[in-house]
Structure 1
């Protein structure tokens, strides 16, 4: 099980928000996080200040060495997939193959209108753009490090058919059967299934409550990575620091998340043929025919 951290890059001053995000990424690497993710927001939607995540991650790549760098997520229907593939390829080369490219349909109808797109067509447009994107990306990135933030049945099935990972930010509930969608994804995914759960860590909750909530999450057994974020997403940089350190030092051990995957001590101390948690087979649920 891997551990990642997500920030929405908020604040009144964009330049300060970008500098603080770079510092947060450096701190995440120091704390042993496996990945660091940034969210894309156009025109300050939901307080986010980052419309161009690959540009900022290029700066992060120059200040870090090992941590994987993720987008959570790029609104694919608003992008030229060929142009996005070119920019992603440059960043992946610059970072030494550390890019985790998360895409989604987008949730901001105003941004769709300003880009000349129809928001109601976003799911169909995402599938069409994704097929072009996967064809244009460097092969290793396309095959192993593209993620789709979705929980709709049709999109989960499309991700499985294309060998794309699923980034799930919707917690399971009685009226939102995410677990069954993840089970079907694991059953039919082409290649190795990849599921990452994005989960909020409310700044005011105790460490014990956070651990209990995460361990009780029925989607947890289907995931190979948990990407945590401070809530609310507009918290100050010092709150990000506190949440990030608390999760790394106290929450991580209870989730069975091993130390940094890139650390040499992990390789030296573990001598087994058992598959890693991220690769361990999950239960298979097949529909009756």
Structure 2
């Protein structure tokens, strides 16, 4: 991270809460406006069906239309659109409308999701999701590239350039290779339950870059890295703000992989949460080897749920103290 501006800084929200969904949606809209005011480059929401991860947003493109009316500069990311649960041409249509309303600011991330109950609820087979995701990604790319749809028609409305703003979220070597060959951006999530992200993700990023170069793409490769980042007055204060949310998320989403009774420090390590005093957070990010490959750093407070005011405070600290210490500055 030695360039003049080493990465673009984004904020990612799961639109999650244990309270009333309307409040979570309205507060997330406000967070997008605040992120733009702080000079962040992008803000992203995560699609969740049937309340997975306490999320309240199954329709990210509807949300982006609302955000587009409240912002003017910040890039708007929808991730991870669970493509095996969607019709790829319908995704292209909804994304096209949201992109036009935002003035060409949309970024679209696609993936498979590991939430089996979402597939059950939507009447879709869970075991074949990767094969369907692969085929649907090709169809989505074709539609956004203005290639003929089945029957010969083409996507309406047309959105030149959106096909170059597709991302794929994956943590497998085969998925990384597919992403690179397709020329899409690579999204590497904060969680990797098979081991520390600092060990797992650098080889994936390096493999993506080498495959991308061999594929002959002329555009600059894109690697987005999501991290749970929570600066506070102290590690103890950060634990007090995040522990209840992290334990609740563990109980509902990862009880088969993470023992619920772990001490807070070990629990946070398993969730790859970077937390504590500003100096601790900066040091941890400097030591994160995959960030040297990242074009985009997307920060979140998930799986903690510190509340709106504390989330805003953390975002302000990241934008004004943490990220500048890493070489970032507003565009």
SS of 2:161's equivalent in the other structure is helix
Q: Does 1:185 align with 2:208?
A: yes
Equivalences for 1:1-289 in 2 at 5 Å? Answer: 1-11=7-17, 12-137=19-144, 138-143=159-164, 145-170=165-190, 173=196, 177-189=200-212, 190-191=217-218, 192-202=220-230, 204=238, 205-260=276-331
- What's the TM-score, normalizing by structure 1? 0.86
Residues 161-187 of structure 1: per-residue CA shift (max 9 Å, x gap):
100000101467389532111101111
SS of 2:127's equivalent in the other structure is helix
Does the CA-based 8 Å contact 1:7-1:233 persist in structure 2?
Answer: no
1: CA distance, partners of 2:198 / 2:122: 33
Gaps of at least 5 residues in structure 1 are: 261-289
Residues 17-49 of structure 1: per-residue CA shift (max 9 Å, x gap):
111111110000000000000111111111111
Task: Give the C-alpha shift of residue 61 in structure 1.
Answer: 0.6
2: CA distance, partners of 1:206 / 1:111: 37
2: CA distance, partners of 1:256 / 1:73: 28
Task: Give the C-alpha shift of residue 228 in structure 1.
Answer: 0.3
Task: Give the C-alpha shift of residue 90 in structure 1.
Answer: 0.4
Q: How many equivalent residue pairs? A: 259
SS of 2:107's equivalent in the other structure is strand
The aligned counterpart of 2:234 is: none
Does the CA-based 8 Å contact 2:198-2:288 persist in structure 1?
Answer: no
Task: Give the C-alpha shift of residue 238 in structure 1.
Answer: 0.9
Out of 5-14 and 159-168, give the one that drifted further.
Answer: 5-14
Does the CA-based 8 Å contact 1:78-1:115 persist in structure 2?
Answer: yes
Does the CA-based 8 Å contact 1:47-1:234 persist in structure 2?
Answer: no
SS of 1:159's equivalent in the other structure is helix
2: CA distance, partners of 1:126 / 1:176: 27
Task: Give the C-alpha shift of residue 220 in structure 1.
Answer: 0.8
Task: Give the C-alpha shift of residue 126 in structure 1.
Answer: 1.0
1: CA distance, partners of 2:176 / 2:188: 10
SS of 2:66's equivalent in the other structure is helix
2: CA distance, partners of 1:212 / 1:175: 13
The RMSD of aligned alpha carbons is: 1.6
- What's the TM-score, normalizing by structure 2? 0.75
2: CA distance, partners of 1:134 / 1:61: 23
2: CA distance, partners of 1:125 / 1:193: 25
SS of 1:71's equivalent in the other structure is strand
SS of 2:64's equivalent in the other structure is helix
Out of 166-175 and 15-24, give the one that drifted further.
Answer: 166-175
2: CA distance, partners of 1:185 / 1:233: 30
Out of 225-234 and 125-134, give the one that drifted further.
Answer: 225-234
